[in-house]
């Protein structure tokens, strides 16, 4: 398990990042900075503490910065300014070799688009991280089969991605992340492409797995119902800024501003949540 701390992270996309950063620090909004500099503010002074062994949900609408933020946690995106700490150590200080080891052993990722290798079987996809790490083929197979069974895909180990439904592909992606045995799992809109029934099943499975494994999971979604259902804690982003962090109960009962309140008001029911 790992504690994650994101400290005052800014991300500017564009050629005039220095000027745009200064304007963001002066309090100008995203639209005005874009108009004046041609640069887009992806993240604007984001600070979060993500406790170990919990499901931390980052949610917001398209363009809010949530996917940009999660990619800072494994340094797929480098910040313009700020720090990203794992157990107190700034991962921005890692050299290329140390960064490869960090991504191999400390953090894995589940993508919305599944990101499976089409020429590899389910088992080969699931054990890829272990094999790259140097685990023997025999030992990796034992690990892979365990997680294939855990996610409900027994008998599909020799199938190829094109032979699977969308829900099955997402289960393979989840099994691959679990088989990598990392401290942290990042899930970027992992269930968004699934139909509602399969999506609900995957949420149930994730919650059940979390009860048994107590992994640190950072889950990205645009869906408030999903956030409330699976999150121990929720951060809501708008235009690259954090507008509220709290438990599901806090979000429902004490929205921080009108933006959050509108999310809550659109909902017709209150799903069961855990905290």
CATH T-level fold of 51-79+95-265:
Rossmann fold (3.40.50)
Nearest-angstrom CA–CA distance, 195 and 225: 15
C-beta of residue 163 within 8 angstroms of C-beta of residue 87 = no
Domain residue limits, the chain: 51-79+95-265
DSSP-derived letter for residue 13 is E
Virtual torsion, Cα 72, 75, 76, 77, nearest 10 deg: 50
pLDDT of residue 267: 59
For the chain, which ranges sit under pLDDT 70? 1, 266-275
pLDDT at 275: 46
Which residue reads 């490869």 in tokens? 100
The radius of gyration of the chain's CA atoms, rounded to the nearest angstrom, is 19
Contacts with 51 (C-beta within 8 Å, 6 or more apart), sequence order: 3, 216, 232, 233
CA distances from 64 to 4, 30, 101 (A): 21, 10, 30
Q: Exposed/middle/buried for 123, CB within 10 Å: 0-12, 13-18, 19+?
A: buried
- Residues in the chain, total: 275
For every residue of 208-223, DSSP letters joined together read: HHHHHH--EEEEEES-
């Amino acid at each position: 398990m790992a504690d994650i701390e994101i400290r005052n992270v800014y991300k500017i996309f564009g050629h005039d990042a220095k000027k745009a950063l200064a304007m963001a620090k002066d309090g100008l909004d995203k639209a005005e900075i874009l108009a004046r500099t041609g640069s887009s503010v992806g993240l604007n002074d984001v600070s979060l503490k993500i406790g170990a062994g919990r499901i931390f949900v980052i949610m917001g609408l398209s363009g809010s910065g949530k996917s940009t933020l999660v990619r800072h946690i494994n340094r797929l995106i480098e910040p313009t300014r700020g720090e990203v700490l794992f157990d107190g150590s700034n991962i921005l200080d890692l050299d290329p070799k140390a960064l490869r080891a960090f991504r191999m052993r400390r953090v894995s990722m589940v993508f919305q688009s599944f990101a499976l290798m089409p020429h590899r079987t389910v088992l080969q996809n699931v054990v890829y991280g272990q094999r790259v790490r140097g685990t023997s083929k025999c030992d990796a197979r034992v690990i892979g089969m365990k997680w294939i069974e855990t996610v409900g895909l027994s008998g599909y180990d020799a199938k190829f991605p094109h032979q699977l439904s969308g829900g099955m592909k997402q289960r393979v992606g989840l099994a691959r992340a679990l088989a990598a045995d990392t401290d942290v799992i990042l899930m970027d809109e992992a269930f968004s492409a699934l139909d509602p029934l399969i999506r609900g099943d995957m949420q149930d499975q994730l919650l059940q797995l979390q009860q048994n494994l107590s992994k640190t999971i950072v889950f990205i979604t645009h869906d408030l119902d999903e956030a409330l259902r699976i999150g121990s804690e929720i951060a809501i982003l708008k235009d690259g800024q954090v507008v509220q962090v709290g438990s599901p109960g806090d979000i429902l009962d004490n929205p921080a501003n009108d933006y959050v309140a509108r999310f809550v008001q659109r909902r017709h029911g209150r799903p069961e949540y855990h905290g």
